[in-house]
Copies of this chain bind each other. A is one copy, B any other.
């Protein structure tokens, strides 16, 4: 925390003494307290030696007036900004909120503050958001994914601040990166499905060519199946709407179209949950007659009639570790030695994928 806010502790009804409609400045506090601007500044930042008497005079005045420091001026003068830009595709699905809480928790007592920007999975929007955020000269950038426009990469490289790309490790980071291998996640899931003896496999996912991580999982998945001579028996992609409902619909359509399927792999848990509910209603034996698996390890799954097989994407961890990298560099100036941190997602068999 650059400025302490002792002035705003909720100690009963504060005295309002600012009838002016102009934001107060240090000078106002200085005049009200009879202390020089410089010393007022020092008190408000807990910096430098200030006598207890002066400190109290200043704090009283600041509180009485309701002074809120102007960080714009402060940042310009000190050339330091306590902001960390966090750029994510969306907060719709539960995945990014959890990454964010990992980040804020870790940043909590470093004095750094996350500021979130959303790209909607659009490279142009990412470019725009990044530009906007960099123009505030943040102390670091945490950005989802390894795929960016050339211009975005340039901005990241030239910014002269720590950059951590998160979620994914299959690619070339600009600087550091923290995530899981989605190709490997797809591969592992395919291996387990094959090992469990399933043969006729359907896939359902989102219609998002720009969701590179989903694409990589799919690639890892299909390639591994191919090695065992198995091809995806059916597939379906959706966009928009309630994921749960879409999972239900797509599943209905698919098992009608391809009745001999014995496994359904969903690119996220939400549509997987929809499919699961549908199959159970239909009285289909899961996982005997039909196996199921999703991806993400969302908390929601705990409340379903059966536990959906899934793979945890290490969301909190990713948030925490990426934040730690930024915080460390902010404090030390010593770049971490590990540039690529690969986390290992845990496979949960749940009740919908029989063990081999």
A136/B14 contact (C-beta < 8 A), A244-B300, A302-B242 known? no
The contact string, 1 if C-beta is below 8 Å from chain B, for chain A 54-73, is 00000000000010111111
**CB of A13 within 8 A of chain B?**
yes
* A71:B135 contact, CB within 8 angstroms: yes
A303/B92 contact (C-beta < 8 A), A66-B155, A115-B115 known? no
* B243:A303 contact, CB within 8 angstroms: yes
- Give A155 to B160 CA distance when docked, in angstroms: 35
The contact string, 1 if C-beta is below 8 Å from chain B, for chain A 70-101, is 11110110000100000000011000010011
Given A10-B124, A68-B159, A76-B76, 10 new contacts (CB under 8 A): A8-B131, A8-B151, A14-B150, A14-B154, A16-B157, A70-B135, A73-B76, A92-B97, A113-B132, A277-B303
* A8:B303 contact, CB within 8 angstroms: no
| A1-33 with Cβ < 8 A to chain B | 3, 5, 8-10, 12-14, 16, 18, 21-23
* B135:A3 contact, CB within 8 angstroms: yes
* B68:A155 contact, CB within 8 angstroms: yes
- Give A281 to B280 CA distance when docked, in angstroms: 10
The contact string, 1 if C-beta is below 8 Å from chain B, for chain A 274-289, is 1001000100000000
- Give A32 to B116 CA distance when docked, in angstroms: 33
- A137: chain B residues at CB < 8 Å are 23, 70-72
* B247:A303 contact, CB within 8 angstroms: yes
| A251-303 with Cβ < 8 A to chain B | 273-274, 277, 281, 299-303
| A149-183 with Cβ < 8 A to chain B | 149-152, 154-155, 157-160
**CB of A47 within 8 A of chain B?**
no
Centre residue among A3, A8, A115, A243 by max chain B CB count within 10 A: A8
**CB of A304 within 8 A of chain B?**
yes
* A21–chain B nearest beta-carbon distance, Å: 5
A151/B14 contact (C-beta < 8 A), A70-B135, A76-B76, A277-B303 known? yes
- Give A123 to B72 CA distance when docked, in angstroms: 25
13 contacts between A and B (CB under 8 A): A8-B155, A10-B150, A69-B135, A70-B137, A71-B135, A91-B97, A104-B118, A113-B132, A115-B116, A242-B300, A243-B300, A244-B302, A245-B303
